[in-house]
Structure 1
Amino acid sequence: MPLIEFSHKLVDRGFKITFVNTEVIHERVVAALSNKGQYEEFINLVPIPDGLGAEEDRHFEIVKLLEIMGKVMPGHLENLIQKINESNNDDDRITCIISDLHMPWAFEVAKKMSIPSAAFWPASAVLLALYLHIPKLIDDGIITADGDLIKNQMVLLSPTMPAMSTAEFSWLCLGQTVALQKAVFNLMFQIPRAVKLADFHICNSFSELEPSGFSLIPNLKPIGPLFASSRLAHFWPEDSSCLSWLDQQPARSVIYVAFGSITVMDKQQFDELALGLELCGQPFLWVVRPDLVNGVTGTYPDGFEARVAARGRLVGWAPQREVLAHPSVACFFSHCGWNSTMEGVSNGLPFLCWPYFADQILNKSYICDVWKIGLGLDPDENGLISKEEIKSKLTGLLGDEGIKGRTLKLKETGMNNVNIGGASSLNFEDFVQAIQVK
């Protein structure tokens, strides 16, 4: 999402974009497009293979996928660029490679082909600072060379940064699959080299949001908040009818519930969530993906849909940008992915935080403990988030004027950054000037 929005910003400045995805993600994005053909002249969506067969499940084969992508995709990317650059149209030549830092091999390709490259970091600056500190964490005896935790403790990456729990290291927050933890850590271990190879470094954040993170990475330039639009990128067709439903609700009354594109929960936890929303008594808009409950749909508690019909709206996928900006929305019940975090902050919304995995746990700690614009949920002795806990925290969040005030202040700061003359706006202009072919 942020890369697509960044692409649109570049198109607005006269660039042409070749947007490269894996074949599987490309197919999902194209299938969900609501504006087919509208941007084809300026943004060309192109797929390359990821190394797995079409019949292989990317969720169940994630370890294999992470290992094979770095071996297979560089060659396909290089061939794609050569094909484009050997065409007769000089206007279509690739003059800069902008890559997600999670694809470190892309910078090897850029260096090999003598093309300037920009590292785009789609998560928090604090998370990148953590990854760049991996060699020191190993030297200090905090983790092993394989990323295993030697001792559970609090660490301080810098004197100005809040202490971080080693339990929140993102590669350790991926469930109990050791193989997956190691595969992700191996990928993170490559990021420092990718940072050194890149000519430019940009991210979707703003300086006041994570000052200590940016102080550790002085060449990382924030250009956010980027507003993830629905112009090109989403995984499911959006149900825009929920916007007219929002129009009918009182101002600042609706709880918006959305846990991103990956979160999965079991049936018992799903039922507690549904019943918690019912107990709260507030209007709610809940994004229930087709695969939210272990791939099963239509699994609501008995009678739930009928009981909440007058004040609850259930959709498969929502136009999140428009929903979060709607005046009837009171708070964001979120998994705390960085994209959603930035979107909620940009709209001045309090958060009820339910992180699922990886960096979402770290983001939640910043939302609740550093920025103080949200509340977390406490599981019971069985690890279940109960309906009573959900009701209690939602009621507390909606009644907390201090949180509301801080969210609005943070929104104002973010908007000042992207307005003309703001720090993020100036960073973007500097980047545009640097990559323009003279």
Structure 2
Amino acid sequence: MASSRPLHVIVFPWLAFGHMIPFLELAKRLARRGHAVTFVSTPRNAARLGAVPPEPSVRLRVLTLNLPEVDGLPEGAESTADVPPEKVGLLKKAFDGLAAPFAELVAEACAAGDDNAAAAFSRKPDWIILDFAQHWIWPIAEEHEIACAVFLILPAALLAFIGTKHENEAHPRTTTEDYMVAPPWIPFSSTISYRRHEAEAVAAAFRPNDSGVSDMDRFWEMQQRPCCRLIVHRSCPEAEPRLFPLLTELFARPVIPAGLLLPDEAVADDDDGDAPGVDRSFSDAMHWLDEQPSRSVIYVALGSEAPVMAGHVRELALGLERSGAQFLWALRLPAGHSGSLLPDGFERRVAGRGVVWTGWVPQVRVLAHGAVGAFLTHCGWGSTVESLFRLGLPLVMLPFVADQGLIARAMAAHGVGVEVPRNDDDGSFRGDDVAATVRRVMAEEEGQELARNARELQKVVGDKVRQEQYVDELVECLHRSK
């Protein structure tokens, strides 16, 4: 190791709970290893993430920056959970307004110099660990000569699909069909491709949004910056074989795993990121779950930010009803809807074998319950990590955006899940197809094989000792490369 001196690291995620929670998990792990970590967010998000656990708190501090107002952005909105999908570009515009206050924060942190004898928080930061979105951080880091690492909470497969700016210029993707096949810079057979309706959404990330900058240009800016020393993924080679060496070659810098960064079981459900004051009286649903036979219930949750529409809710309800399966559904109403979207009489007809819960759900505790035998999921990376890699549950997969389609293809290839058939052009699906897919996983012989495969994959990917070693190796890399 190049130095045993504790590091001072600034950790700064994008304003989405699917980003902030893994960034905070990484911050906690660095703090537990004796390093000083400054976690940066906005006031409301910091409050919703909860208090820093007492054990590492002497090494982990939270600093907040006030998000500037932007025309069209709802008052008080500080995360993607606070805005409909069409307003996320405005949230990025507000996020860009944090450049000046963040520069002041860094300048103040650097003012004490780099005295080895000083307490870690009193020293110049050794690293800034940032997200994909802060293209404005690079000149700040260069001015103060601070090394940077981009931490991506999404699977390595998505980075492989995106590729470098150079590769995209050499192999331009100009049609929807271009996004429906694996890119030419992946030299081996893979599942890295999108359905048509997914490809159209992915292509939009390559175009400027309401912030004036495309997501890809935000990310690609790091390729031009020598202060970007590392790209770090919330992933591991056991989950995504062959990709880390390829990405290291493509991006001409180390692309390394941080491991899956699973929260401790005791605190995992406190990190779901729901706003204070949400109804947490989940006891009735939990009592129902306690009364169900082992592995008889499918848990249904599509995350907090998937663009679920009223029609999706209706067809999913019809599918669950027609499947005959016992289910617990954590239903989040689509943005702009306050009334019930369920078919007339639905809850009466499924009474006794199905529970629909619209309040806060302790997802990790539900997934770990002995009555739960499968998970109907949007295939967000965080949910996949929690349910499959942590607990070995087979999946019924209903992906919507971003990396979710790639994850669904990969999990199908692993033999641990089945996708609900969808219309390739518009992404719609029918209740009958939901019902048939749920029965395949829950009630048919195929489901037993999926469950066996899921347990075997969990044994390999969910090795806690190896997962912590990835963090140790990351720390060694931070020492060598600062």
Please state which band the TM-score falls in when normalised by the shorter chain.
0.7 to 0.9
Distance in 2 of aligned mates of 1:325 and 1:215:
34
Aligned mates of 2:430, 2:89 — CA distance in 1: 32
Q: Distance in 2 between matches of 1:143 and 1:169?
A: 16
1:305 aligns with 347
User: Structure 1, residues 119-147: CA drift from partner, whole Å, max 9, x if none?
Assistant: 2111011111222334323312x425xxx
Residues in 1 aligned to 2:478 and 2:187: alpha-carbon distance in whole angstroms: 35
Find the residue that maps to 1:211 and give its secondary structure.
coil
Decide whether the 8 Å contact of 2:330 with 2:361 is kept in 1: yes
Alignment correspondent of 2:185:
157
Q: Would the alpha carbon gap of residues 280 and 234 (structure 1) be closer, same or farther in structure 2, given more than 3 Å must change?
A: same
The answer to whether 1:83 aligns with 2:108 is yes
Is this contact kept in 2: 1:207–1:222, CA < 8 A? yes
C-alpha separation in 1, matches of 2:212 and 2:287: 42
- Determine the structure 2 residue equivalent to 1:113: 144
Alignment partner, residue 73 of structure 1: 98
User: Are residue 274 (structure 1) and residue 317 (structure 2) matched?
Assistant: yes
Contact 1:256–1:333 (CA under 8 A) maintained in structure 2: yes
1:44 corresponds to 2:49: no
| 1:352 corresponding residue in structure 2 | 396
2:269 paired residue among 223, 230, 252: 230
Deviations 1:4-61 (A, max 9, x none): 222222232233432222x3xx41552474x688576554333324444387234343
Partner of 1:9: 29
Q: Cα 1:139–1:305, aligned 2, differ >3 Å: closer, same or farther?
A: same
Which consecutive residues of structure 1, in runs of 5 or more, have no partner in the other structure? none
Change in CA separation of 1:168 and 1:2 when aligned onto 2, cut-off 3 Å: farther
Shift, 1:285, TM fit: 1.6
Instruction: Report the CA distance between 1:386 and its aligned residue.
Output: 2.0
How far 1:274 sits from its partner (Å)?
1.6
Tell me the residue number matched to 2:121.
Answer: 92
Question: Are 1:221 and 2:256 counterparts?
Answer: yes
Residue by residue, what CA displacement relative to the aligned partner does 1:48-103 show, whole Å, maximum 9, x if unpaired? 24444387234343334435634x22222121233345589843244422112333
SS at match of 1:217: helix
Partners of 1:311 and 1:247 in 2: how far apart?
13
Matches within 5 A, 1:337-376: 337-346=380-389, 347-368=391-412, 370-376=413-419
Q: Which segment drifts farther, 302-311 or 204-213?
A: 302-311
How do 1:80-229 residues align onto structure 2 when only pairs under 5 Å count?
A: 80-86=105-111, 90-93=119-122, 94-140=125-171, 142-144=172-174, 149=176, 151=178, 154-155=181-182, 156-162=184-190, 164-165=192-193, 172-173=200-201, 186-194=214-222, 197-218=227-248, 219-228=254-263, 229=268
Q: Within 2, Cα distance between the matches of 1:100 and 1:272?
A: 35
Q: Compared with structure 1, are the counterparts of its residues 36 and 217 closer, same or farther at alpha carbon in structure 2 (3 Å cutoff)?
A: closer
For the pair 1:409 / 2:409, whether they are aligned, the reply is no
RMSD: 3.5
Give the superposition deviation at 1:257. Answer: 0.9
Q: CA deviation at 1:353?
A: 1.1
Answering whether residue 415 of structure 2 is matched by residue 395 of structure 1, we say no
**Structure 1 residues 243 and 92: alpha-carbon distance in aligned structure 2, compared to 1, 3 A threshold:** farther
Match of 2:78 in 1: none
* Distance of 1:178 and 1:120 partners within structure 2: 20
Shift of 1:412: 0.7
**Higher alpha-carbon deviation: 375-384 or 354-363:** 375-384
Q: What is the aligned-residue identity percentage?
A: 24
In structure 1, the residue matched to 2:363 is 320
> Do the aligned residues in 1 keep the contact of 2:194 with 2:405 (CA within 8 Å)?
no
**Which runs of 5 or more residues in structure 2 are unaligned?**
1-20, 75-82, 249-253
Specify whether residues 176 and 151 from structure 1 end up closer, same or farther in structure 2 by C-alpha distance, changes over 3 A only: closer
Deviates more, 1:372-381 or 1:256-265: 372-381
- Structure 1 residue 337 displacement after superposition: 1.2
- Give the partner amino acid of 1:344: S
| 1:430–1:67 Cα change, 3 Å | same
TM value normalised by structure 1: 0.83
Report what 2:80 is aligned to.
Answer: none
Residues 216 and 193 of structure 1: CA distance in aligned 2, closer, same or farther (over 3 Å): farther
Structure 1 pair 267–205 and aligned structure 2 pair: CA distance change class (3 A): same
Q: What residue identity is the alignment partner of 2:156?
A: A
Q: Which amino acid aligns with 2:236?
A: F
Q: 1:91 to 1:297 in 2, by over 3 A?
A: farther
1: distance between equivalents of 2:161 and 2:191? 12
Is the 2:296–2:373 contact (alpha carbons within 8 Å) kept by the matching residues of 1? yes
Conserved in 2, the CA contact under 8 Å of 1:119 and 1:200?
yes
Aligned partner letter, 1:254:
V
Q: Structure 1's 240 and 15: CA in aligned 2 closer, same or farther, altered over 3 A?
A: farther
Q: Deviations over 1:266-316 (max 9, x none)?
A: 333312212221222222221122x43643243332222233332323332
